[in-house]
Amino acid sequence: MSVFSPDVEQLKRAASAGDSAAQYALGRRLLTLPPFDLSEGLKWAQRAANQGSAEASRFLAVLTAAGIGAKHNLDSALDHMQRAVEGGDRPAQAELSLLAGEAQLASGIADARATASQPWSALRNSGDVARWLDLPKPRVISTSPRIALMEGFISPAICDWLIALGRPRLKRAQTYDPATGDLRYESARSNSTAQIMLADLDLVLAFVRARIAALTGLRLDGFEDSMILHYATGEQFLPHYDFLDVSFPGYANDVARHGQRVVTLLIYLNDDYDGGETAFPTLGRSFKGAKGDALFFWNVTPDGAGDKRSFHAGTPPTRGEKWLFSQWIRYRAP
């Protein structure tokens, strides 16, 4: 039975009869496609994993690491992932290898050229969760607006992994219409973007998101879908704000539902290009990180108002192509 079968009732019948493939397919569908049902989706994915579905165990690992439908816990996520890799799931094997620092092995597994020479439990245990989340203080670049830089935030191998994740999903980037909140194409933005939704999220990205939460001190439940940005030579995103101006009805409705977009975090995924700085015209300053560096800035002032000094732009590369990881983070007061 296809994981992408459109007949939910058929999936439910097969899942209820004990078909683990149908249980996983039903759980995945309920969690990733409307109408969503997180509790039911998680229940069916767990049943499939309990019956030995390696795919379901990998999916549970991602959910647990991301805190979606399950309590966020990276150690528990690695336990799920170990079951997936021992069940023969090659994507899980590649992801676990990369998180263990075995980039060459991860690449070989992804290309079906290699297998692990040590027990999977050894790779699972080499993933030091405490070290992953224990970060030094970032270097403050500006106090108004609040901008900070963390050098070497992720490894070059993880940068390459994220580029590969985004490349096949790239589409021309859009912006939000302030009157309606709908997406639209605009001449001010000519680059491409890949939106990584739950259906495409993997454990490597889920761990990166957890590291971002540790760096910024903000909760994972405020994270929007992660984006991989691509700028070909000459492409740009003209100066703009990332906070949502609630004087516009489309933005006001969005903020009421989801909270204000308080932080923007960018990870530079490559550095073999000229130009392409992240510019802050009001400050008269531009930044260009090395591969793996993270730049993040607050779009609001300490009292929560939109910070007009956060006006920024993605300037065009003059040679080569630029890849960025972008994470917007929301906050809504309890």
CA distance 112 to 43: 32
Identify the structural domains of the chain with CATH numbers, from first to last: 8-128 (1.25.40.10), 139-331 (2.60.120.620)
The DSSP string of 52-103 is T-HHHHHHHHHHHHHTSSS---HHHHHHHHHHHHHTT-HHHHHHHHHHTT-H
pTM: 0.95
- Residues with Cβ within 8 Å of 302's Cβ and at least 6 positions away in sequence, in order, are none
Taking only the tens of pLDDT, the chain with its 334 residues reads: 444 445 889 999 999 999 999 999 999 999 999 989 999 999 999 999 999 999 999 999 999 999 998 899 999 999 999 999 999 999 999 999 999 999 998 999 988 777 776 678 887 887 679 889 999 999 999 999 999 999 999 999 999 999 999 999 999 999 988 888 889 999 999 999 999 999 999 999 999 999 999 999 999 999 999 999 999 999 999 999 999 999 999 899 999 999 999 999 999 999 999 999 999 999 999 999 999 999 999 999 999 999 999 999 999 999 999 999 999 999 987 7
Specify whether the CB–CB gap between 218 and 298 falls below 8 A: no
Looking at this protein, which amino acid is placed at residue 74?
L
Name residues whose C-beta falls within 8 Å of residue 83's C-beta, 6 or more positions apart in sequence: 49, 54, 57
Cα–Cα dist 29/35, whole Å: 9
The rounded distance, in Å, linking the Cα atoms of 92 and 171 is 27
